[in-house]
Amino acid sequence: MAEFPNLDPEFADAVASLPDLDLSDIAAARALQETVTQPLIANLSYEGVDVREVSAPGLGDAPDVPIRLLTPEGAAGPLPVLVALHGGGFVLGNAQEFDYLCLDVVRELGVAVANVEYRLAPENPFPGPLDDCYAALRYVYTKGSDLGLDPSRIAIGGSSAGGALAAGTALKARDTGEVPLVFQLLISPALDDRLGSPSSLELLNTPVAQRRNGLLAWQSYLGTEYAGPTDPQVSIYAAPARAVDLSGLPPTYIAAMELDPVRDEAFEFALKMLRAGVSVELHSYPGTFHGCIELAPAAEVSIRAQREIIGALGRGLRVPVAAR
């Protein structure tokens, strides 16, 4: 791993213990990631939070989409809800790994979280994962009242590849007009398959995120027909940075990490939305790396970032201050 003078010293131990994931062997990468994430999951506390497993009908002939529905224990609805999408480069991870954020959202805001178990690439390339996310969003909207949710206060959010899926799902919801979103939350979103931003070209081997894996992740997600960065057929729902028109999207909060190849994609997407008339709050956290909030949660900047992310979500969901 290269040396990064700007890396926050509190991250030194976490970075030194990170395994070297190689997405050229996805089965091995999945097994190796589990050695990192399983202890983190085992340390999560679910005190005060109810967890239900529900399923959304898949789009078309697709299978049902499992959803982990987290709500405050004993809460009376209807509750505002975040539809949450985990990261993992489109090929790794599962919904429970995103509970590190979802649990704090439930406890601190008193809202619900629908944490989506979307299908992974390369076994299920685009549009499979995006369809699962949209199916989950539509289910939360159409069946929300039955689940104790408030269909008038739905946000969507995700981290890394989950940020790409959240942004793509928000674009699809805008275009279909089926689900009104009140907020969008993007954490270190991977938005552009072309990987041509300055940070993508300069930060080649940062903690967690390396250019070689970024290229492999997009190839896995976009499938065997993908012709690379110049491919004109890539859908804006797959790579939201390719969208020309970002008007009509919900107010958005974006968290970007300094030492992250996808950092500048977040900056450019924020500016593009602002110019299209979308309200955007953008934070760039110094000394941070991709995934640091999950992997080094005790660092001061990780604590601050998560607190500000949850605060922005509360404002977006119109949660009264007294309820926070």
Structure tokens that stand for 23 in this block: 């997405």
Q: Identify whether 160 is a catalytic site residue.
A: yes
d(CA 209, CA 265): 14
Please report, for residues 156, 162, 240, the alpha-carbon distance to residue 169 in angstroms, rounded to integers and kept in the order given: 8, 10, 9
Q: Which of 99, 193, 199, 290 is catalytic?
A: 290
Cα angle 15-21-26, degrees, rounded to a multiple of 5:
155
Active site (annotated) includes residue 197: no
Coil, strand or helix at 302? helix
CA distance 107 to 118: 24
Which of 192, 260, 264, 302 is catalytic? The answer is: 260
**Which entry of 99, 131, 159, 160 is annotated as an active-site residue?**
160
290 is catalytic: yes
Return all residues near 257 (Cβ < 8 A) that are at least 6 apart: 188, 263, 284, 285, 288, 289, 290, 292
Phi, psi of 199 (to 5 degrees): -65, -35
Q: Give me the active site residues, please.
A: 160, 260, 290
